[in-house]
């Protein structure tokens, strides 16, 4: 009798294992995969690293990682996975933090204002947007124009259709396809050594308001998947230029193929004590690429960077037909004394 009673009690004491419903397991695993992918990219951002493919490409669209991050959180909640829910909240919080604009929102130039002028930068995509660029130059009348991907057709059109009386000073690198570039200026220019690159990055010194202003066009290679070494090297050279030019008036403009979420781009700002004029003018959230297709995935990779000698009073992105980039027009004030 005692033996039977003991056995019955033991059987009753065996815990019942509750198995999770298969769809909850699937929901949790799917959520974990999404959160792991987002965490890898955001982790590189937090570590001040551009990582390896596909991280540099994903960093260009970092704010959009809130979508898969949010989906991962929802899936974790549906799967009743508490650890995943905490993970998802942390991922969203960190990602949201990094969507804030990087860098100072104002500059503090010393002295009195010496000159006011405007700068236009445009990637014409193999010169296909040349007609619209010339029309924009005639309409907006910028004082300095930076042109990336200025093919032979682009260079010839600028020479024939943009009056030399309007832009008497020019530095045009005649190369076909994406390799050509140009700087047009109303101010006297003195050419300087270009930054070594596959696509031309010419530079010059302009005399503006009685001061020498260092102008530099930026157009590093894009971070192609699995072949981003040239991008790293050329952005590194741009960073070294910014560092060497620190201390004087600098305007560094063009298609950087990088956003504020790329560590290399931030290093260009930090090493040269430069500021993104779109950020200064309240346009940090505006996009410049891609402009030739309908997609919510867009990023600001075209920039006009300036030193502390300037104030940016406005920044506008202009749509040009024939190119996947929007042009950027910035009005600047140069100070000194």
Q: Which pLDDT belongs to residue 23?
A: 86
Same domain, 73 and 116: no
**Listed residues 98, 132, 153: the one ending a domain:** 98
DSSP character string of 225-267:
TTB-HHHHHHHHHHHHHHHHTTTS-EEEEEE-S--TTSHHHHH
Say if residue 56 is in the same domain as residue 153: no
Residues 6+ positions from 110 with CB-CB distance below 8 Å: 308, 335, 336, 337
* DSSP labels, 72-136: HHHHHHHTT-HHHHHHHHHHHHHHHHHTSPPS-S-----SEEEEEEEEEEEE-TTTTTHHHHHHH
Q: Which two tokens stand for residue 264?
A: 């290399």
Kindly give the confidence (pLDDT) of every residue in the chain, 337 residues in length, as a single tens digit, with 9 standing for 90 and above: 455 445 554 555 555 556 667 888 999 999 999 999 999 999 999 999 999 999 999 999 999 999 999 999 999 999 999 999 999 999 999 999 999 999 888 998 999 999 999 999 999 999 999 999 999 999 999 999 999 999 999 999 999 999 999 999 999 999 999 999 999 999 999 999 999 999 999 999 999 999 999 999 999 999 999 999 999 999 999 999 999 999 999 999 999 999 999 999 999 999 999 999 999 999 999 999 999 989 999 999 999 999 999 999 999 999 999 999 999 999 999 999 7
* One domain, residues 254 and 312: yes
pLDDT for the residue numbered 210: 96
What CATH code is carried by the domain that includes residue 176? 3.60.10.10
Tell me 187's DSSP state.
S
How many structural domains are present in the chain?
Answer: 2
Q: Which residues fall within 8 angstroms of residue 130, CB to CB, at 6 or more apart?
A: 124, 150, 153, 154, 157, 158, 322
Cα separation of 118 and 58, whole Å?
33
How is 188-212 classified by DSSP, letter by letter?
-EEEEPPPP-SS---EEEEEETTEE
Q: How many Å apart are CA 85 and CA 27, to the nearest integer? A: 12
Longest distance between any two alpha carbons in the chain, whole Å? 115
The tens digit of pLDDT for each residue in 182-236 reads 999 999 999 999 999 999 999 999 999 999 999 999 999 999 999 999 999 999 9
Look at residue 21 in the predicted model and tell me its pLDDT.
Answer: 78
CA dihedral 251, 252, 254, 257 (to 10 degrees): -150
* Residue ending a domain, choose from 50, 68, 98: 98
User: Is residue 265 within 8 Å of residue 255, measured between CB atoms?
Assistant: no
The whole-number pLDDT of residue 8 equals 53
Residue 245, exposed/middle/buried by CB under 10 A (0-12, 13-18, 19+)?
Answer: buried
Question: Do residues 68 and 209 share a domain?
Answer: no
Contact 330, 312 (CB under 8 A): yes
**pLDDT at site 4:** 46
Query: How far apart (Å, rounded) are the C-alpha atoms in residues 181 and 43?
Result: 36
Of 98, 121, 148, which one is at a domain's C-terminal end? 98
What does the block give as tokens for 295? 């997609």
**Collapsing DSSP states into helix, strand and coil, what is residue 332?**
strand
| Cα torsion 70, 75, 79, 83: sign | negative
Residues 87 and 156 occupy one common structural domain: no
Q: What is the DSSP letter of 162?
A: S
Q: Look-up: residue for tokens 């891609």?
A: 290
**277, 177: one domain:** yes
Cis peptide bond prior to 290, omega within 30° of 0? yes
Other CB atoms within 10 A of residue 174 CB: 16
Is the residue at 215 inside a domain? yes
Report the relative pairing of strands 250-255 and 211-218 from DSSP bridges: parallel
Q: Is residue 191 domain-shared with residue 304, that is, in the same domain?
A: yes
- H/E run at residue 268: helix 263-272
Residues 94 and 159 in one domain: no
Query: Which pTM does this prediction carry?
Result: 0.92
Mean pLDDT across the chain: 94
CA 197 to chain centre: 19
* 80 in the same domain as 214: no
Domain range for 32: 17-98
Rounded distance, CA 48 to CA 66, Å?
19
Give the model's pLDDT for residue 97. Answer: 97
């Amino acid at each position: 009798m005692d033996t039977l009673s003991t056995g019955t009690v033991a059987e009753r004491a065996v815990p019942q294992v509750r198995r999770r419903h298969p769809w909850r397991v699937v929901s949790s695993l799917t959520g974990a995969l999404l959160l792991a992918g987002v965490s890898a990219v955001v982790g590189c951002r937090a570590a001040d690293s551009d990582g390896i493919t596909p991280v540099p490409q994903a960093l260009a669209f970092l704010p959009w990682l809130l979508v898969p991050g949010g989906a991962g959180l929802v899936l974790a909640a549906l799967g009743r996975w508490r650890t995943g829910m905490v993970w998802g909240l942390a991922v969203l919080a960190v990602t949201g933090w990094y969507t804030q604009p990087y860098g100072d929102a104002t500059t503090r130039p010393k002295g009195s204002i010496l000159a006011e002028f405007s700068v236009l930068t445009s990637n014409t995509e193999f010169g296909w947007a040349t007609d619209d660029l010339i029309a924009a130059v005639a309409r907006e009348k910028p004082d300095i124009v930076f042109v990336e991907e200025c093919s032979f057709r682009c260079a010839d059109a600028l020479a024939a259709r943009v009056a030399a009386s309007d832009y008497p000073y020019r530095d045009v690198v005649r190369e076909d396809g994406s390799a050509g570039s140009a700087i047009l200026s109303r101010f006297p220019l003195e050419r300087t050594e270009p930054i070594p690159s596959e696509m031309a990055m010419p530079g010059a010194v302009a005399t503006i308001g009685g001061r020498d202003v260092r102008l530099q066009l930026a157009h590093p290679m894009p971070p192609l998947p699995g072949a981003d070494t040239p991008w790293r090297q050329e952005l590194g050279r741009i960073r070294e230029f910014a560092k060497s030019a620190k201390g004087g008036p600098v305007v560094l403009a063009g298609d950087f193929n990088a956003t504020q979420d790329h560590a290399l781009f931030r290093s260009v700002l930090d090493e040269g004590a430069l500021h993104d004029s779109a950020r200064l003018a309240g346009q940090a959230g505006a996009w410049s690429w891609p402009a030739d297709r309908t997609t919510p995935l867009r990023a600001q990779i075209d920039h006009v960077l300036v030193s502390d000698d300037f104030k940016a009073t406005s920044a506008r992105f202009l749509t040009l037909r024939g190119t996947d980039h929007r042009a950027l027009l910035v009005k600047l004030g140069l100070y000194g004394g």
